[in-house]
Structure 1
Amino acid sequence: MSAVRKWLVAGLLVVVPVAITVSVLQWIIGTLDRTLLILPESWQPDRFIGVHIPGLGVLLTLAILLLVGAAASNLVGKKLVTWGDALVARIPVVRSIYSSVKQVSDTLFSPGGNAFRKAVLVQWPRPDVWTIAFVTGSPGGEVSQYLPGDYVSVYVPTTPNPTGGYFVILRKTDCLELKMTVDEALKYVISMGVVVPGAPPLLNR
C-alpha cells in the first residue's frame, strides 16, 4: 500500500500541473480567439479556410499590440495618445474610469514603475502573524501629511488567488525585505507555502 500511495502522489504531481496548465492555456487562447470577431466577415479565417484553427486570435492580438506599441513610440504617436487622453478627460464618468485604469496600468507595466518590484515580510493581520506582501510605492498627497516618518504602500495578496488582497500602509521598519524575486514570492503565495523558494522539488525529497 505504501508503494501504491507513493505512485499515486507521484502521478498527481505530474498530471495536475499539466492539466491545470492546459486548461489555463485553453482559456487564454479561447478568449484571445474572440479578437478575430473584429475582422470583417469575409476576412474571417474560419470562413475561407473552412476549419477553425485555435491560436490565430493570439497571433492577431500580438500583431495589434505590436502595431499600437510601435505607433505610440514615435513622436506622432505620442502626440496622438496625448490628444486622445485629453479628449477622454473631457467626457464625464468615462474620464474617471479611464484615468484610474490608466494610472494602474502605467504603474504596473511601465519600465519605470515601482509596483511589485520587491517582496517583503510583514505582520498581518495582527502582530506575530506573518505573511508576504509586495511594495507598490510610497504614500503621497494628503495621506502622507498625516503619516510622519518613513512609510511604504504594500499589497497583501490572498491565497491561492493573488488578484484579490489588501492595500496597507506600513512603516518601512516594519517590513522585512526578502531576497527572493517577485516571481518566487508569488509562487510561494499561490501554492499556500508548498512551493518554497530555493527548496528542492518534492520528487527529490
Structure 2
Amino acid sequence: MEDTEILNLWKVYDKKLEENLSLNKKNAEDITKIKLHSHLLSMKPMKIFTIIVGILWVVFVDILIVIAFKFGVSFFLISAIIQVLLTKLAIGVYVYQLILINRVDISDSILATQEKIARLKSSTIWVTKLLFLQFPVWNTFYWTQAVWENGGIWWYVIQIPLTAAFTYLAIWLFVNIRYENRNKKWFGLIFRGKEWTPLMKSMEILEQIEEYKRK
C-alpha cells in the first residue's frame, strides 16, 4: 500500500473518530439537559400544592378579617392583614415560578436556561424572606385591649420579650437569607427538600453542560 493511500485512510479514520466524538458529546449534553428538565419539573407538584393551600388560607383569613372589622378587634385585624398580604405576595411568587418552570425547554440555549434558573433561585430566596416576615404577627394576633389592661405583670414579662424575639428573628432572617450564606448550617435547615434541592442539582447540571461544551 502506497503512502498516499495510507494517509487517505488515516484521514478518513480521523474524520470518523471526530464525528463519533462529536456525536457522543452531543448525546451526553442532550441526556444532561433531560436530567436538568426532570429536576425542575419535580418542583412543580409542591409548588402547585402550596399555591392551592395558600389560596384556601387567604380566603379563610380574609373572611376572618371581615368579621374582625365588624367587631373592631384591632390587634387581630392588623396582624391578619399583614399576614394575609405577605401570603398573597408569596402565592404570586409561586405562580411566577411555575411559569418559569413551564418555560424551560431542553432545546433552549444554555444562557436562556441559566437565566431562568437564576430567577428561580432568586425568587425562592425572596419568597422565604417574605414568609419569615410573618413571625411577629403570629405573636400579636391574640392580643386584646382587655388583656393588656388586666393581664398582670407576668403577661408583660412573657409577652414583651417574646414579641421582641420574634421580631428580631424575622428581621435577622430577612437580612441574612442570601445565596452567599448557602453553606451555613442554619441556611441548610431552611433550604432543603423539593423547594431547593432540585434547583441546586439543576445548577450543577448546567455546569456539567458548560464543561461538555468547553471540551
Give the alignment's TM-score, normalised by structure 1.
0.32
**Higher Rg:** 2
Whichever structure has more strand as a proportion of its residues is 1
Higher relative contact order (CA 8 A, sep 6+): 2
Whichever structure has more helix as a proportion of its residues is 2
